[in-house]
A and B are shown apart, each in its own frame.
Chain A
Amino acid sequence: MTATHAALPGAGGATLPAPGGAPRPHPPLGRRGRRGTTWARRWEPRFYLIPAVVVLGGLLAYPLYQLVVVSLYDYRQANVSGSAPLRFIGLQNYARLLGDDAFWTVLGNTVVFAGACVVATLAVGGALALLATRLRPWSRTTLFLASLGAWATPAMTGSAVWLFLFDPTLGFVNQTLTAVGLEGFAGHSWTYDKWSAFALVGAEIVWCSFPFVMVTVYAGIIGVPTEIQEAARLDGASTWRIAVSIVAPILRPVLAIVTIQSIIWDFKVFTQIYVMTGGGGIAGQNLVLNVYSYQQAFAASQYGLGSAVGVITTLLLMVVTLAYLRALRRQGEEL
């Protein structure tokens, strides 16, 4: 079983260099009777940790705490400028959100949109990973290089070029559709309708996130030991049977990780929505949680309310993260 795990990505897989594997801590030298170094061995790690602890404590842990605190206050522009005293309102921001249809719509948008992106990303990435195992090296390299390009494209520039491709009048897509006789697409706006806008943003997201799934799943398939499959074949198992009973279970941890990782990314998408729908779409129809939180705080100056949205987003993501940690554990990542 150890051998199997070693071949999987994340645990020092075939595509990784040796140092990618799970490290083992070294036993302290002090225990071997070299007393002169014992004091140093005890204090050195603490010194080494100082910079990271300061930075992460100050700019990650403390703001996280502050996020919760601000969400308990009625915090608006007047309070920021100091012309009105701060008022502690407990959970009222949350109560207001939960009683607000707009919030539930945004939450629904986020879940449906992220869910659709995850499913599409996994389907495309998985299918192409399977395809890649059946390719000759030159065509596989072509496919991987193109995917690497999409993967590397920053969210900002990816959004910009997709928006241009789907521009109502000057975009390549509408021009082509009109040219082949679909006159209805002349000047057609892809971002006017709510779900059409979501679909366009989703397409861009799938475009730049499927390569991660493809490459990871491909490495996973390649890492499945040949011997086990040959043995099953000798025992008379069909290819389908081998795929379902041997390859799929071995791949399960890899699939769990790419699924959860995709959920985490797609759930907290900001740039694509913000850029492609102009800050959340017409009348806020394309708002997702993160953009909603941003707009509440920095456009409407409702910092307390925006923070409450941030807390809810963080809590929802933490649940997914815990599932992620369990999946990592199962894959044999050693802490």
Chain B
Amino acid sequence: MSAPVVARRRRPRVGADVVAVLVAGLVAFPLYWMLLSALKPTTELMSGDALPYTLHPTLDAFTRVLSVENVGRYLLNSVLVAAVAVPGAMFCAFFAAVALTRYRFRLRTTLLVTVLVAQMVPVEALTIPLFFLFRSFGMVVPELGLNHLGSLVLVHICFSTPFAIWMLRGFVAAVPEEVEEAARLDGASGLRFVRSILFPLVAPGLVAVSIFGFISTWNDFLYPRTFIISAQENQTLPLAILNFFKPDQNDWGAIMAGSVIMTLPVLVFFVFVQRHLVSGLAGAVKG
């Protein structure tokens, strides 16, 4: 296939490649700086001459944040919230996607539009009512109330579901109708078909979609900031990093080490889902 005319390169242009590499360097620089600063000894970091390299890389900042500053605990909290919220959202979204793509019923189109609109609701505006809602939950079941991780799990199940439904539709609909007919002829009930045949076939799609859920849950700063008021031990990673900002003197080594710990998993997952990133709506996970 020849390249589109507009985009066609009549002869290789070294200039464009040079510009691209320079831009790539500029774009990657903040990430490089994050990693570099996390590895610099404190004396170099605070010396006031910001060298773009270090001759004495050290893991001091990492050991410091993990042991002294208890970042391990916050990391565990972040992992816990994501580990419960993402499968929860996938459960809701998978069955909803099955209902919305493999069946025809009244209100189907209305529900689909609702899902799309739900995905667009600015969840930032809902902090106030959700704060009160979880305050009430907490009076009944403390684990699901403010200051507990349960509240974060529940809101993230909710926030990840609409986008997941939207993404999963394609994967669910891609399973041929003949497969379903064959299963039904063999006597499989609807649920049996969904569980034993549809689910394994859609599993790769579920993995991709759940990564988006993971990223938005992992990155969330507003809700832990709002819900986890006094329970230090239930804070998540973004709050831990915020804690290193001090009015008098920011602990940049700790901030950068914490940032590396928080960024790394997302970076790895992004590489996995990069094929799906272009689906127009996929960007919705970045707030």
Interface flag for B56 (CB, 8 Å): no
Please, which residues of chain B bring their CB within 8 A of the CB of A331? 280
**A19 with B6: CB separation less than 8 A:** no
Closest B-chain residue to A230, C-beta based? Answer: B5
A23 touches B174 (CB 8 A): yes
Interface string of B30-69 (1 = CB under 8 A from A): 1101100100000001101110100000000000000000
Q: How large is the interface on B (under 10, 10 to 19, 20 to 34, 35 or more residues)?
A: 35 or more
As a 0/1 sequence over residues 230 to 269 of chain A, the CB contacts with chain B under 8 angstroms (1 = contact) are 1011000001001100010000001001000100110011
Does A95 have its Cβ within 8 Å of any Cβ on chain B?
no
Tally chain A residues at the interface, Cβ within 8 Å: 136
Main secondary structure of the interface of B (DSSP, over half): helix
Interface residues of B in 211-227 (CB under 8 A from A): 215, 218-219, 221-222, 225-226
Contact for B122 among A19, A34, A313, A325, CB less than 8 A: A313
The reply to whether the CB of B263 lies closer than 8 angstroms to some CB of chain A is yes
Asked if A233 contacts B5 (CB within 8 A), the reply is yes
| CB closest residue in chain A, given B208 | A17
Contact A49–B128 (Cβ < 8 Å):
no
Point out the residues of chain B lying under 8 angstroms from A268, CB to CB: 122, 124-125, 287
A18 at the interface (CB under 8 A from B): yes
Task: Choose one: B92, B96, B132, B266; the contact of A152 (CB below 8 Å).
Answer: B266
From A16, A55, A62, A226, contact of B1 by CB (8 A): A226
* A313 near B125: Cβ-Cβ < 8 Å: yes
Bound state CA distance, A247 and B6, in angstroms? 8
A279 to B: closest C-beta gap in Å: 10
**CB pair A317 B120 closer than 8 Å:** yes
> Do A16 and B278 have beta carbons less than 8 Å apart?
yes
Show 9 residue pairs from A and B whose CB-CB distance is below 8 angstroms, ordered by the A residue: A12-B170, A16-B279, A23-B169, A66-B132, A164-B250, A264-B120, A268-B124, A325-B113, A325-B117
Chain A residues in the interface with B (C-beta under 8 A): 9-10, 12-13, 15-29, 34, 37, 40-42, 44-53, 55-56, 58-64, 66-67, 70, 80, 128, 130-136, 139-140, 142-143, 145-158, 160-162, 164-165, 167, 169-172, 175-176, 207-209, 212, 215-216, 219, 221-222, 224, 226, 229-230, 232-233, 239, 242-243, 247, 254, 257, 261, 264-265, 268-271, 274-275, 278, 290, 293-294, 297-298, 303, 306-307, 310-311, 313-314, 317-318, 321, 324-325, 328, 331, 335
| Top 10 A-B residue pairs of the complex, sorted by shortest distance between their CB atoms | A23-B173, A10-B280, A133-B7, A310-B125, A45-B99, A66-B129, A157-B259, A52-B96, A59-B158, A152-B270
